[in-house]
Structure formats: C-alpha cells, structure tokens
Amino acid sequence: MGPDHLGSYLAIAAALFTTGVLAVCTRRNAIGVLIGIELMLNAAALQFVAYGRFRAPLGDSIGQAAAVFVIVVAAAEAAVALALLFAVYRTLRDIDLERTRELAA
C-alpha cells in the first residue's frame, strides 16, 4: 500500500473546498460562482478517491465509483448552468448577480 498520504490529500481537498466556498460567497459574477461550485465538487471527488485508496477495506471500490459519478454530474451541471447563464446574458446583457435582480416581494 505504501506510505499513508491520506492527510496530505485531505488537506488539498479542504483547501480546494474552502477556495470554492469563498468564491461562491464573494464573487458577484455568476461564472465565478460556478467555478467555485466546480471546485467544491472536485474537492469532494478527490476526497472520495483518497478515502477509497487509504481507508476503505480491500475490494471496496465505492470511493472510485463515486468520483467517476461526480465528474460526470459536474460536467452535466456545468452544461446546464452555462446554458442558463447564456440565456440570462442574452436577455439582460449582464451576468452580475447584483445587477440582475428583478424578482422580489
């Protein structure tokens, strides 16, 4: 199995996730928020693979399977989100979250 590098992988995943959360919370551009979401998803995928390699019992491949599923779903999500952002841009000529607000009580 080699040396247990789980800690380093978890640290990288945590850093990716934190960066993603910060991007989601602070970016005003919708594309920036979307990139943040992708970072969060990939942090989770990395963590699945790391746990699957170092912690799961032998023969358990759920961790790897989960990572593959996450990659596919992230691609689908990016496609849907970009299509919607494109629709917003075509009607409003803007994707700044502060300036595209019409819906309110």
Partner 1 sequence: MSETLMILAPELILTATLLAVLLSDAARWRSFAYLLALSGTLCALLASALAPRGTVGDQLAIDAWAALARPAILLSAVLLLMAARSLHDDDDGPAWAALLLALALGALVTAASAHLLPLWLGLELMSLSGYALAGWRAGSRRSAEAGMKYVLFGGAASALSLYGMSHLYGLAGRLDFAGIGAMLAVDQPLPVTAALLIASVGLAYKLTLVPFHYYAPDVYQGAPPLAVASVGTLPKIAAIAVLVRALSSAVPESLVSPASVSGLLALLATASLLVAALTAVVARDAQRIIAYSAIAHAGSMVLALAARPHSSATAAAAFYLAAYVPATIGALLALALLAPTAGRTALVELAGSGQRRPWTGVALVVCLASLAGLPPLAGFLAKWGVLRAALEVGLGAPERSVLLWAAGALLLSTAISAWAYLLIIRAVFFQPAPAQQTTATPPLPPGVAAVLALCVAATLALGLWLSGFAVLLHSLHP
Residues 6+ apart with CB under 8 A from 23: 32, 33, 35, 36, 39
Size of the site for partner 1 (CB under 8 A): 51
Residues 6+ apart with CB under 8 A from 9: 46, 47, 49, 50, 54
Q: For partner 1, what does the binding mask look like between residues 43 and 72, x meaning CB under 8 A?
A: xxx-xx-xxx--xxx--x-xx-xx--xx--
35 interacts with partner 1 by CB under 8 A: no
Q: Which is nearer to partner 1, 3 or 57 (CB)?
A: 57
- Rounded CA gap, 17 and 36, in Å? 8
Return the amino acid letter for 48: F
Q: Which is nearer to partner 1, 12 or 44 (CB)?
A: 44
- Rounded CA gap, 69 and 7, in Å? 24
Where does this chain bind partner 1 (CB under 8 A)? 13, 17, 20-21, 24, 30, 33-34, 36-37, 40-41, 43-45, 47-48, 50-52, 55-57, 60, 62-63, 65-66, 69-70, 73, 76-77, 80-81, 83-85, 87-88, 90-92, 95, 97, 100-105
